[in-house]
Amino acid sequence: MTYAMIGTWAMALSGVQRAAATLAADGTAGDAVETAIQVIEDDPSLTSVGYGGLPNEQGMVQLDGAYMNGDNFQIGAVAGVEDVASPIALARLLAKERVNNFLVGTGAEAYADQHGLARKNMLTSGAKTAWQKRQVEVGQGGRLTPYDGHDTVGMIALDARGHIRVGTSTSGLFMKHAGRVGDSPQPGNGFYADSAVGAAAATGLGEDLMKRPLCFEIVSLMAQGMPVQEAMDKAVYTFIDQLQARNGAVGEFSYIALDHQGNFGVATNVEFQYAVFSDRVAPRLYLAMPGNDHHVTITPA
């Protein structure tokens, strides 16, 4: 049976490697997504996700994440949560509720406490040092540039029983305004999944990614019969051109996708690495380079 997984950025490789054993042993796509993302969340050396994520302008680490079940469209999402060890575990738990699926701030933290999820001070000394350094730079007249460290981890898994699940987890923009929410917890914008079709996940500048729900659009084009890579090229680059023309600026856009037959796709307007694994391919990294022709060039990384 076909099973497959894809994740954003080079950091995804360690998560995909861990989850590969789950999928190969007839594990569920949901367990694969949660396991893979937790590896990233737990790694203090990664500055854009979970523990070690860079803080907001007030020095607080505020985390966003989401989980979607492609069988029944149930979604769980959190934004602006502090000191919750695994935002993806919290999002997955919320996806089982009939209502109150998307919680923010202290309300989300209370739910985590009520359900026995682990709490943890997510600010590492390294992240604190980076924040203090930036504060000094800003105090000396340096421009406040929040465009760093916004690398969301997105993971999509297809298991041998045909279930597709997608998850995201991020600390968002370094030096973001308190309470800022990006695309990652927003269905359609940061992620989308339909087990009969496929799934997509996004990373980049959330404020631009949320201007059109491209993850949904990619899945929708695939549902109309378009191959996964063609669907991504059409959805992503058409909108990048339109946004440039209509708003005069375009942030970083990178998307991964997986169809229900285990085929991968990627679209990006910046150099972008991603990790894949399937019953046919051992876990490995690829590098996608955007071309001028609205296609990417893909090479082993």
Residue 116 lies near its own copies (rule: CB under 8 A): no
- Please list, in sequence order, all residues whose beta carbon lies within 8 angstroms of the beta carbon of residue 231, skipping any fewer than 6 positions away: 218, 219, 221, 222, 257, 265
Q: How far, in Å, CA of 74 to CA of 56, rounded?
A: 30
Q: Which of 35, 47, 124, 152 is catalytic?
A: 152
**Closer by beta carbon to its own copies, 247 or else 261:** 247
Q: How far, in Å, CA of 258 to CA of 157, rounded?
A: 8
Residue 49 C-beta: closest distance to its own copies, Å: 19
Give the residue, chosen from 15, 50, 182, 265, that forms a contact with its own copies under the rule CB under 8 A: 182
Residue 73 lies near its own copies (rule: CB under 8 A): yes
Name the burial class of residue 83, with classes exposed (0-12), middle (13-18) and buried (19+) by CB atoms within 10 angstroms of its CB.
Answer: middle
How many residues would you count in the chain? 301
Give the residue, chosen from 178, 270, 281, 289, that forms a contact with its own copies under the rule CB under 8 A: 178
- C-alpha 297 chain-centroid distance: 22
Token pair belonging to 189:
């914008």
Give the residue, chosen from 213, 262, 265, 283, that forms a contact with its own copies under the rule CB under 8 A: 213
Give the residue, chosen from 3, 51, 111, 264, that forms a contact with its own copies under the rule CB under 8 A: 111
Residue 6 C-beta: closest distance to its own copies, Å: 22
Q: Let me know if 152 is a catalytic residue.
A: yes
Are 166 and 154 in contact, with CB atoms under 8 Å apart?
yes
Residue 246 C-beta: closest distance to its own copies, Å: 5
Residue 217 lies near its own copies (rule: CB under 8 A): yes
Residue 201 C-beta: closest distance to its own copies, Å: 15
Question: C-alpha angle with apex 279: 3 to 203, nearest 5 degrees?
Answer: 60
**Closer by beta carbon to its own copies, 20 or else 217:** 217
Scanning 21-29, 96-104, 152-160, 162-170 for contacts with its own copies by CB under 8 A, the matching segment is 96-104
The two beta strands, 198-204 and 102-104, are: unpaired
Three-state secondary structure call for residue 54: coil
Residue 227 forms beta bridges with which residues? none
Token pair belonging to 239:
């909108």
Neighbours of 114 (CB within 10 A): 8
Give the residue, chosen from 31, 148, 207, 279, that forms a contact with its own copies under the rule CB under 8 A: 207
Scanning 39-47, 158-166, 242-250, 285-293 for contacts with its own copies by CB under 8 A, the matching segment is 242-250
Token pair belonging to 170:
């991020």
Residue 104 lies near its own copies (rule: CB under 8 A): yes
**Closer by beta carbon to its own copies, 98 or else 280:** 98
Residues recognised as catalytic: 152
Q: Which residues bind its own copies (CB under 8 A)?
A: 71-75, 77, 79-80, 97-108, 110-111, 146-147, 173, 176-182, 186-189, 205, 207, 210-213, 216-217, 220, 243, 246-249
